[in-house]
Chains A and B, each alone.
Chain A
Amino acid sequence: MRQLLSFVRKEFYHIFRDKTTMLILLGIPVIQMILFGFALSTEVKDTQIVVLAPSHDEASERIIERLNGSAYFNVAGRISSNREIEDAFRSGKAKLVVVFEDRFGERLRHDGKAHIQLIADATDPNAATTFTFYATNIINNYQQDLMGAQQNPYIITPEVKMLFNPQMIGAYNFVPGVLGMIIILICAMMTSIAIVKEKEKGTMEVLLVSPMKPIYSILSKLTPYFVLSCVNFGSIILLSVFMLKVPITGSFSSLVFISLLYIFVSLALGMLISTLANTQLAAMLISGMGLMMPVMLLSGMIFPVENMPMWLQVISHIVPARWYIEAVKAIMIEGLGFMAVWKDVCILAFMAFVLVIISIKQYKVRLE
């Protein structure tokens, strides 16, 4: 026991004395939360639009007014010909151009049918879809009001309700994602690098020629990163609740429980990587390729897994972050309890078990 304590103390010395690394480890979650929270927001708010309305009639002006009056759009200017549309995008003046056809109001009144063209900058397809979705909604609203005035007997009104996140706040989506990524990176990447560092610096050679049990040296490597991850978990939760106003609607204890389990899975993964790599660079590459990419792309953190091709969906099953993020979303956002995430818990527990078994089997008691 004294052996273990002394070893753990040594590991904390390593971390505390490497100020830059420690700062990065504790700073990353805070910076990511702030970045995602404010800078990289995917919410539509005051998007600049440009309008082409040659007829200047009442109907088109009403619609423009509504667009401008909504929280989503700002009419940044008007253009008078089709040729200027491209310029509006090129100059960055507009993300969306709303084009009313000639004699818009007249056609609407006489033919009962008129066209509006929505041209969006689709370099960011997700954003373009969102812009057109909001614009279409506003136009539809106007149409319904118009119909209401004419007493049209047949009206089908789809009423969309955004459940759990009625205001479509992006933070609801990324807080679980950031949690999933930060924890796995710090646990797996940092522990694997820490273990491999001993090999690279030659200290492993001395450690091996000692009565120290391998399980002790592994345990003591894991402890500091376990603590660090708990601190990070705490800071992410605090930031998300108090800064981003994302409430924890579900059971807090379930959230903590599954997070601890996920931390454990990540630590086990780090152990496994350390048995595969012999240099810090290799450990970095393996965890970079093997963790960062899948976690970012296949966990549902940024892109929804359901929309991916089948084979990617299959691969995503072995990404622990996928299950964790799913569970955190269920607990934090949907407000569900432990019963809703038992499947994710089982999968993560199984992963932990398999990883620990493999890495203990793989652990080298000798140099080669």
Chain B
Amino acid sequence: MDKNQNITDIAVSCSNVSKSYKDVRALNKVSMEVPRGQIFGIIGPDGSGKTSLFRILTTLILADEGAAAVDGFDVVADYREIRKRVGYMPGRFSLYQDLTVEENLNFFATVFNTSIKENYDLVKDIYQQIEPFKNRRAGKLSGGMKQKLALSCALIHRPSVLFLDEPTTGVDPVSRKEFWGMLKKLQKENITIIVSTPYMDEAGLCDKIGLIQDGEFLTTDTPRGIIGKYPNKLIAVESNDMHQLLIDLRANELSKDCFAFGDRHHVSIDHALTTDSAATKDIIREIKSFLLNKGHKNLIVEEIEPGIEDCFMQLSQK
């Protein structure tokens, strides 16, 4: 049978995958499907099972139940085949710290039976940024540069699926933005990218996302689709005493949920109360006067569009 026949339009799929460590259930009947050429984001807090899922898909650990396939190959039976065609960047920096940048890249190129020259065009954009330091030991690089080197090493054999486990954790905001720019470019090379992150703001950059918590997908959809399904109205509130504000808002019977979001508090109002825009305006006015009575100053209360994080909060409340 020709190997290429195995390559379907579904790059990664898994169904009902479960994994337990002793008495901790890391993954509970997880299912997903990622079409070729998409960026799929797995988004959830630490300990939600992201790394376990990555390790199952990259054939590093075995699932207790369920089946998974990458490029049409089963992760258990055809693990050798998968190891030839995927690129994997673990959450922890996993290159040789005592080898130089160039030696690391060279080593991983030969491990995958290729050379830097052969696929230079693919890594060029990324590698050029660290090339001035090619004789520096990898252990002496800055966080952002380490990450670029790790990505170059994971890409050097032109993988068909790229697994990036929390690539932007601990990386500064500018480098993070840059990094997502690189991913978008790779996507154009028809590389499927599975990326996990604890940062909700990166979710919007994916084609499709899965929100994961306690080993279960809360939902998988496009970022827009998830936001569209947000059932409540959302208002943002700000005052001179943010701590007291949170307490007061939670005490108010109109607010369904209230969370601190950076410099503002997000209050969700049950959709039953906000059937039209006039009703919403009334509620905003009501909350405003309630807070003024409590003695809050510099008060701002306004309706906002929900973000992925709001959706995550709402879904994880269930």
Contacts and interface: CB of A to CB of B under 8 A. Distances in A.
B90 A205 contact: yes
Contact of A211 (B84, B94, B97): B84
Contacts of A2: 110, 113
A367 to B, nearest CB: 5
Interface stretch (B59-67, B213-221, B290-298): B59-67
A52 B151 CA distance: 84
Contacts of A202: 90, 92-94
B61 A211 contact: no
Nearest to A367: B60
Contacts of A206: 88, 90, 94-95, 108, 153-154
A203 B35 CA distance: 29
B238 interface: no
Interface in A182-227: 201-203, 205-212
A18 B110 contact: no
B60 to A, nearest CB: 5
B279 interface: no
B99 interface: yes
A13 B103 contact: yes
B134 interface: no
B192 interface: no
Contact of B96 (A10, A209, A211): A10
A203 B110 contact: no
B111 A211 contact: yes
Interface residues on A, range: 20 to 34
A207 B90 CA distance: 11
Contacts of B106: 6
B58 interface: yes
Nearest to A203: B94
A17 B153 CA distance: 22
Interface residues of B, number: 31
Nearest to B86: A209
Contact of B98 (A18, A205, A366, A368): A18
A3 B113 contact: yes
B94 A205 contact: yes
A366 B62 contact: yes
Contacts of B110: 2-3, 6-7
B288 interface: no
A74 to B, nearest CB: 55
Given A14-B96, A18-B98, A205-B90, A367 B61 contact: yes
Given A13-B99, A206-B95, A211-B84, A365 B79 contact: yes
A14 B98 contact: yes
Interface of A: 2-3, 6-7, 10, 13-14, 17-18, 201-203, 205-212, 365-368
Interface of B: 55, 58-62, 79-80, 83-84, 86, 88, 90, 92-99, 103, 106-108, 110-113, 153-154
Given A6-B111, A203-B95, A206-B153, 8 more contacts: A10-B96, A13-B98, A14-B96, A202-B92, A205-B90, A206-B88, A206-B154, A209-B83
